[in-house]
Amino acid sequence: MTIRLGGIIAGLAITAVLVLWSLLPGAYSYAFDPPAEPQPSAAFYEHGHGPEGGFAFDGVFGKWDMAQLQRGYQVYKEVCKSCHSLKFVAFRDLSQLGYTEAEVQAEAATWTIPGKDPATGEQTELPGKPTDYFPPVYYAGQGVPPDLSLITKARHDGSNYVYDLLTGYGEPDPAKAAKVGFETPDGLYFNKHFPNVNIAMPAPLSDDQLTYADGTKATTAQMAKDVAAFLTWTAEPSLVERRQTGWFVLGFLLFATTLAFLSYKQIWAGLKPKKK
Does residue 213 touch another protein according to CB under 8 A? no
d(CA 252, CA 248): 6
d(CA 163, CA 169): 11
Min separation Cβ 236 and another protein, Å: 8
Q: Strand, helix or coil at 125?
A: strand
Selected from 42, 178, 213, 254, the binder of another protein by CB under 8 A is 254
Selected from 58, 93, 113, 184, the binder of another protein by CB under 8 A is 93
Pair 8, 2: CB distance under 8 Å = no
Q: Within 13 Å, how many C-alpha atoms sit on residue 200's CB side?
A: 7
d(CA 76, CA 87): 13
Residue 136 CA from chain centroid, whole number: 20
Does residue 272 touch another protein according to CB under 8 A? yes
Does residue 42 touch another protein according to CB under 8 A? no
Q: Which is nearer to another protein, 128 or 205 (CB)?
A: 128
Q: Phi/psi at 115 (nearest 5 deg)?
A: -170, -175
Where would I find the H helices in 121-180? 158-166, 174-180
**Mask 12-41, x = binds another protein (CB under 8 A)?**
x-xx-xxx-xxx-xxx--x-----------
Min separation Cβ 49 and another protein, Å: 18
**Mask 180-199, x = binds another protein (CB under 8 A)?**
--------------------
Q: In a 10 Å sphere around its CB, with 0-12 CB exposed, 13-18 middle and 19+ buried, how is residue 276 labelled?
A: exposed
Q: Which is nearer to another protein, 115 or 177 (CB)?
A: 115
Pair 268, 96: CB distance under 8 Å = no
Does residue 154 touch another protein according to CB under 8 A? yes
Selected from 150, 166, 197, 199, the binder of another protein by CB under 8 A is 150
β partners of residue 40: none
Q: Which is nearer to another protein, 34 or 215 (CB)?
A: 34
d(CA 182, CA 37): 14
Interacting residues with another protein (CB under 8 A)? 3-4, 7-8, 10-12, 14-15, 17-19, 21-23, 25-27, 30, 60, 88, 90, 92-93, 118-119, 130-131, 146-147, 149-150, 153-156, 158, 235, 237-238, 242-243, 245-247, 249-250, 252-257, 259-264, 266-273, 275-276
